[in-house]
Amino acid sequence: DADVTQTPRNRITKTGKRIMLECSQTKGHDRMYWYRQDPGLGLRLIYYSFDVKDINKGEISDGYSVSRQAQAKFSLSLESAIPNQTALYFCATSAHDQMRETQYFGPGTRLLVL
């Protein structure tokens, strides 16, 4: 979805380096998420945020941190990258809606940690 953008799209880094993945959205949604996708493991939630003052850990937050700089921006950082963090990372957004909770995903960032 072009309304959710991620930068960079591809990144190669070395073990021990700190890197940041960025996500921006123009959908006006208050909720934002970071997921990790590994082959055969599906999508797993790393962190989520309901607004700029609300950050919550997902099921696999160890080794990651996030920053919600504005309603439209949500960044994921790897403080000291390790090879098993090699994966495809997705940002997603959603609007608080009691009828449905559609999440809109960005195009993904493919990360390789050497």
Partner 1 sequence: GENVEQHPSTLSVQEGDSAVIKCTYSDSASNYFPWYKQELGKGPQLIIDIRSNVGEKKDQRIAVTLNKTAKHFSLHITETQPEDSAVYFCAASTNSGGSNYKLTFGKGTLLTVNP
Binding residues for partner 1, rule: CB under 8 A, are: 1, 4, 31, 40-45, 48, 50, 59, 90, 92, 94, 96-98, 100-103, 105-108
CB-nearer residue toward partner 1: 18 or 96: 96
Residue 92, C-beta contacts closer than 8 angstroms, at least 6 positions apart:
4, 32, 33, 34, 35, 103, 104, 105, 106
DSSP string of the chain? -TTEEEE-SEEEE-TT--EEEEEEE-S--SEEEEEEEETTTEEEEEEEEEETTEEEE-TT-TTEEEEEEETTEEEEEESS--GGG-EEEEEEEE---SS----EE---EEEEE-
CB-nearer residue toward partner 1: 56 or 80: 56
Least distance (Å) between residue 60 CB and partner 1:
12
Least distance (Å) between residue 20 CB and partner 1:
19
Least distance (Å) between residue 27 CB and partner 1:
13
CB-nearer residue toward partner 1: 66 or 92: 92
CB-nearer residue toward partner 1: 16 or 28: 28
Least distance (Å) between residue 43 CB and partner 1:
4
